[in-house]
Structure 1
Amino acid sequence: MSGSEYRTGREGEFTYRGHTLDELQDMDVDEVAELLPARQRRTIERGLGVEHEKLLERARETSEDESTNNPIRTHLRDMPVLPEFVGLTFAVHNGQGFERVEIEPEMIGHYLGEFQLTRNSVEHGQAGIGATRSSKFVPLK
């Protein structure tokens, strides 16, 4: 998908499939589902699980009560990002701990887990002595 599909308008305001963020937030979940990609649409049409519904309710409560600045902790990496999540902060579990993810309008239509990597990049150092047969030729300084 091209970036122009999401960033249109004279002022460069955010739109998703021709709808502004305010229009998306006023829509029902089922109406938003029609605009989402197929996998996320199918997830919502088949019915969100009990845990997903609880997370959705907690997000709605948090968005109404803006005095709390605590992130919403969750293990649900497979929760689709909905327009009502924009502006909230989630603490998504990555297998080791909870990492903060601030939801922005460009994240609509993706899953929460896509923004929190589960694997770290590996930076190999120098081989230690006795690590391999070839390491006996590495100078000790």
Structure 2
Amino acid sequence: MEGQEPDVAVAKKRTFKKFSFRGVDLDALLDMSTDELVKMFTARARRRFQRGLKRKPMALIKKLRKAKREAPVGEKPNLVKTHLRNMIIVPEMIGSVVGVYNACEAR
């Protein structure tokens, strides 16, 4: 039809997955202290945190923070490559992109 304008593409907002751990939402998890968070973990993870995180896991968390900080608003952060297959996922890592080495490539 001649008098009609083409439909303007409306930017549809993406609905993101709502993260929760043992019934607690991500926002509440991020506000928790480390001690409160560790109490929610399983025995194996509690033991690991009580013994302290070593240099390599702390370096990974630092790199993830840096990648998130440098990412433009609304975009995914850059991939952070690692060999740490046994790293415990903490709420601070949600939203980051981690490539774990599997002897062929980092996926």
Structure 1 residue 69 displacement after superposition: 3.2
Which residue does 2:86 correspond to in 1? 78
Q: Distance in 2 between matches of 1:64 and 1:83?
A: 16
- TM-score, normalised to structure 1, is 0.55
3-state SS in 2 of match to 1:81? coil
**AA of the residue aligned to 2:79:** P
Pick from 25, 43, 66 the counterpart of residue 48 of structure 2. 43
Structure 1 residue 14 displacement after superposition: 4.0
Paired positions, count: 88
Change (3 A) 1:84 1:55: same
Structure 1 residue 22 displacement after superposition: 0.3
- RMSD over aligned CA atoms reads 2.1
Structure 1 residues not aligned, in runs of 5+:
1-12, 100-141
Pick from 58, 62, 69 the counterpart of residue 64 of structure 1. 69
Structure 2 residues not aligned, in runs of 5+:
1-17
- TM-score, normalised to structure 2, is 0.70
Which residue does 1:94 correspond to in 2? 102
Structure 1 residue 87 displacement after superposition: 1.0
Higher alpha-carbon Rg? 1
Query: Could you give the per-residue CA deviations for residues 28-77 of structure 1, whole angstroms, max 9, x where no partner exists?
Result: 33332211111112111110111111111112222233237321110011
8 Å contact from structure 2 (residues 83, 100) kept in 1: yes
Change (3 A) 1:14 1:97: closer
3-state SS in 2 of match to 1:79? coil
Q: Distance in 2 between matches of 1:62 and 1:69?
A: 5
Within 5 A, what are the aligned runs for 1:101-112?
none
Structure 1: which 4+ aligned runs deviate by more than 3 Å?
none
